[in-house]
Amino acid sequence: MSADFDLYQISEEHQMLRETVRSLAEAKIAPFAADVDEHARFPQEALDALTAAELHAVHVPEEFGGVGADALATVLVIEEVARVCVSSSLIPAVNKLGSLPVVLSGSEELKRKYLSPLAAGEGMFSYCLSEPDAGSDAAGMKTRAVRDGDFWVLNGVKRWITNAGVSEYYTVMAVTDPEKRSKGISAFVVEKGDEGVSFGAPEKKLGIKGSPTREVYFDNVRIPADRMIGAEGTGFATAMKTLDHTRITIAAQALGVAQGALDYAKGYVQERKQFGKAIAEFQGIQFMLADMAMKLEAARQLTYAAAAKSQRVDSDLTFFGAAAKCFASDVAMEITTDAVQLLGGYGYTRDYPLERMMRDAKITQIYEGTNQVQRIVMARNLP
């Protein structure tokens, strides 16, 4: 798909993609969203449906068997899935997050070895950066990789790893030279089946309960040297470059859940009657809906503009990626909270989807860098 599009009107091709994904999401993902949340189970139905439609990893280039979709197309897929189930939207989002270091910095052999099975739906990709004592300060990580002939031996723990245990492949950041801090960190591809890889119990979370979040343990994991992504010592730079692009996918999740909440609340207030008329006719309700729609559209335009910059790799991408993620997630939290309010007591119950949407929205303000960190990033990269 072409990346040339008007910021204020997406192309006909992109619009067709949106309609396709929305139809699929409503038919094959939405019916399971409440059950996925209630039982904190992986949304296998969503993975099957997305894989069958080649929407599980649309960013993979065509030369490796992928669809070769641009950054905006990836945003649209994630946005439309998140509109009905945020947990399920983490399938295409984290497949991009986990594999983008390979796309950006991997050798041709590494790309062919791992992007091809990802595109074919033979295994998902996860991203291992955070640790128990290294969250926002990712450069303070302690996971070590030591050279041993033609191999590297990894030891350490990664925390908050999305889709851990389900994914087959893991991009892992590890310290190869402790004296150099961030310039002593390298990136590797580790496979689920590598000896010494194991997983902690799933975290019990506020939201996105259908997407497993677990610790990943590396106990003398011995991997071939050609599994290093890029040159030794470039892992941290690759990790940060990756986040410049993938923070926009978090903004897309935020857009989706906010749109889903607004759509549901709008329908409800048109049906709900009090004092002899639909509550949508009351000015107080109208003002709430207007503010919700206005802020959502502002977030959408910022996110789509950031997607265009991601595709072109513009010099101000770091600012726009952080801005889109920060603004859209703050807006999503506000909109989902207001949507619960519009339903009153019903909004607070699990009989309606809005309390789930509100819980799911919260994570978008936290992962891939908290919104406080995003503001630091923006301040350091003012255009």
Active site residues: 368
Where are the alpha helices (H) located in the chain, listed in sequence order? 12-28, 30-38, 44-52, 71-82, 86-105, 108-119, 235-271, 283-312, 317-342, 354-362, 371-380
Q: Are 142 and 131 in contact (CB under 8 A)?
A: yes
Backbone φ and ψ for 206, nearest 5 degrees, come out as: -65, -45
Q: Are strands 151-162 and 144-148 parallel, antiparallel or unpaired?
A: antiparallel
Tokens of 349: 């119950």
In terms of Cα–Cα distance, which of 162, 226, 153, 133 is closest to 194?
153
CA end-to-end span of the chain: 28
**How long, in residues, is the chain?**
383
In terms of Cα–Cα distance, which of 91, 114, 83 is closest to 44?
91
Q: Are 249 and 59 in contact (CB under 8 A)?
A: no
Tokens of 24: 């699929």
In terms of Cα–Cα distance, which of 207, 245, 259 is closest to 75?
245
